[in-house]
Amino acid sequence: MFHRSADTGRDAPGGPMLDRRAASGLLLSLCSLAFAPAQAFAQSGRFGPAHPFDWKRLVKMASDLAKKPYAAVPDSDNAAIDFEAFGALTYGNAQSLAGNVRLFPTARNVAPKPVKIHLVQGGQAREVVDTGGLFVGSADANTHADAAGFRVMSADGQTDWLAFLGASYYRTAGTSGQYGLSARGLSIDTGLDTPEEFPVFTQFWLENTGPDTARIHALLDSPSATGAYSFDCARSDASIVQDVKAKIFLRKDVRQLGIAAASSMFWYDQNGGKADWRPEIHDSDGLALRTGSGERIWRPLINPSRIRLDLFQDTDPKAFGLIQRDRDFDHYQDDGLFYDRRPSLWIEPQGNWGKGSVLLLEMPTVGETDDNVAMFWQPAKPAKAGDAMDFAYRLTWANTDPSIDAVAHCVDSFEGPATVAGLAARRPPEGIKRYVFDFKGPALAGLDRNSGVEAAVSVPSSAIVSTSAYPVVGREGVWRAVLDLREAEIGAEEFRFYLKRGNDALSETVIKVVKP
């Protein structure tokens, strides 16, 4: 299980579980405070000597580091003792770097390991060696803190829209200013029966490219791998886009290497047993895939009764991601954490990634403070010591669904006994369950009950009691598929289905888990 540290709900390895709801309330109150203006690059005493810097030099650093024994970065001696102390150092009147960057301080059980921060201008990099004034109250000679990460501020300096903090985690606030799921530079052995390894970004190089952009380079290190990373980030009204480039070097064999990894939280939705007064609680509600062959797949997330690892084999995937498709406030009723505003994350590989699998890991959870969902690409080729590999991909963080196109997509789902309308007092048929899915999209435009639309279901014929597909009265453009199935005859933990007309698929393929 990934514990969410209380800074912005980020995942962090180890440490006690913190109350993300209380933490978010504190953040909302603190973030309204004003911030001091940026300081000049050449501020006296702030920076170390200048050194040439570019992508090739960073790659060489990662390559050289991989040839040396791993040496973990020790925890900071100046870490904040708890989240309250962390917040006091972070939110308030402090100086910025590179025009729009504010630093996070190290904090016990949140992000205890310091990172090196460099600013880049004209191909020259200088390390920040004096953090005086960069944290709230740190201009005081008796107050000192080390940097654990950073956040990129909006033009008015009142909010942030991009943050790197803890291990190799990073995320954006989307277009609604609400953080949710996280991306990861690299995952190693996630979901296996052996301990997971958490690679760490140990150094960052920041370049001021404008008020709504950021150019970031990072050096990654871990017992099994090193890496050079670059992030070109741009913020617009429609989305936040990050073009990522990575060069990875392996020190050791890795059983399960995760590229373009992400983690999220799913506690329950409208089909799960409510454990809270709110109707639904989740950062993401489905995994969307666009395969190399062009198939669209939607796999609704679950809170399983046991650890579950699903593999979606593919060759040269076009895109995949964790999506928050349900954006109706009434479905959450949360006016503090605003789950309806959580961003979706859509990952588009650049170039050909070859054979591999998108892996989806789901773990049981009894609350919203744990990230119990992980997703990543695992290359089919075994990851061996001495290997070097290149990956490039685009991340789109949006509050609309980047996975939607002309094919109809699933907008809602329900399940329960196969009752007969108007006969509520009648006992439902034993062993028969009703699955209801609503779809919307251009592919269904202009069709009606007489158009020959039907549901194609991948279960034995003996499991099918009835299927139907029809436009929903009063909901323009929405179609409903109703499947009555004999549970004992399904014969698998899940089934697939989609809407079709003749031989033409009209919708994405939905994968429904029936035995979580």
Residues 199 and 224: their CA atoms lie apart, in Å, by 8
**Residue 133 and residue 143 in contact, taking contact as beta carbons nearer than 8 Å:** no
Query: In this structure, what DSSP letter does residue 405 have?
Result: -
CA distance to 104, 135, 217, 250, 305, per residue, from 74 (Å): 17, 21, 22, 22, 37
Q: List C-alpha distances in Å: 303 to 270, 475, 483.
A: 12, 29, 22
Nearest to 391 by CA among 347, 425, 361: 347
Neighbours of 29 (CB within 10 A): 10
Q: Are 490 and 513 in contact (CB under 8 A)?
A: no
The predicted pLDDT at position 31 comes to 36
Q: What is the pLDDT of residue 516?
A: 78
Q: Strand 388-398 and strand 453-457: pairing?
A: unpaired
The pLDDT value recorded for residue 43 is 56
DSSP letter (8 states) at residue 62: H
Contact of 268 with 303, CB cutoff 8 Å: yes
Report d(CA 452, CA 223) in Å as an integer: 58
Identify the three-state secondary structure at position 121: strand
Give the residue among 461, 470, 446, 458 at the shortest CA–CA distance from 496. 458
Residue type at 371?
D
| 199 and 227 Cβ atoms separated by less than 8 Å | yes
Q: Record the pTM.
A: 0.90
SS3 (DSSP) at 494: strand
Q: What is residue 13's predicted lDDT score, i.e. its pLDDT?
A: 31
Partners of residue 69 on adjacent β-strands: none
Written as tens digits, the pLDDT of the chain (516 aa) is: 544 433 333 333 333 222 333 333 333 333 333 333 334 344 558 999 999 999 999 999 999 999 999 999 999 998 999 989 999 999 888 899 988 999 999 999 889 999 999 999 999 999 999 998 999 987 665 566 899 999 999 988 888 999 999 999 999 999 999 999 999 999 999 999 999 999 999 999 999 888 899 999 999 999 999 999 999 999 999 999 999 999 999 999 999 999 999 999 999 999 877 889 999 999 999 999 999 999 999 999 999 999 999 999 999 999 999 999 999 999 999 999 999 999 999 999 999 999 999 999 999 999 999 899 999 999 999 999 999 999 999 999 999 999 999 999 999 999 998 876 555 556 667 889 999 999 999 999 999 999 999 999 999 999 999 999 999 998 999 999 999 999 999 999 999 999 999 999 999 999 999 987
368-401: b or e for each residue (b if 16 or more CB lie within 10 Å)? bbbbbbbbbbbbeeebeeebebebbbbbbbbbeb
Specify the pLDDT at position 421. 58
Q: What is the full DSSP assignment across 347-380? A: EEE-S---EEEEEEEE---SSSSEE-EEEEEEES
Write down the H helix ranges in 131-287. Answer: none
